Amino acid sequence: MNELVEVGIFDSKVLEYAVKLEFGNKGNDFLRLAYDTHQIQIGDYIADQYDRVFLKKATVKEVKSSIVEYVVQVVRNVILKKGLVNTGRMLNSVEGRYAEN
């Protein structure tokens, strides 16, 4: 079973701007901050979701989708809290994907 789940900005037109924010302007990082400040909550959420699979309350596909949605929302919330929204394009470009089984 492939457990790969990815969250980030995959739109190449937005990615260059996002990388400049993340690594170029001190204090404008958002991906690292989202991970660093929510690492425990994300881990707990993943554990809770996989418990749902073991208890046969959800499928692996449902759980992966739920995890992606959760982490996407965490990243979007950090972007909003940091005031990094001008047009909303970067905010709306945060997305997740996972490998299908």
* HSE-CB of 31 using CA atoms within 13 angstroms: 16
Give the pLDDT band (50/70/90) at residue 54: very high
Mean pLDDT of the chain: 92
Residue 19 pLDDT exceeds 80: yes
Residue 1 pLDDT exceeds 60: no
Task: Give the phi and the psi of residue 30 in degrees, each rounded to 5.
Answer: -130, -35
Q: How far apart are CA 32 and CA 28, in angstroms?
A: 10
Give the pLDDT band (50/70/90) at residue 83: very high
Residue 101 pLDDT exceeds 70: no
Q: Where are the domains of the chain?
A: 5-98
Residue 5 has a pLDDT of 85
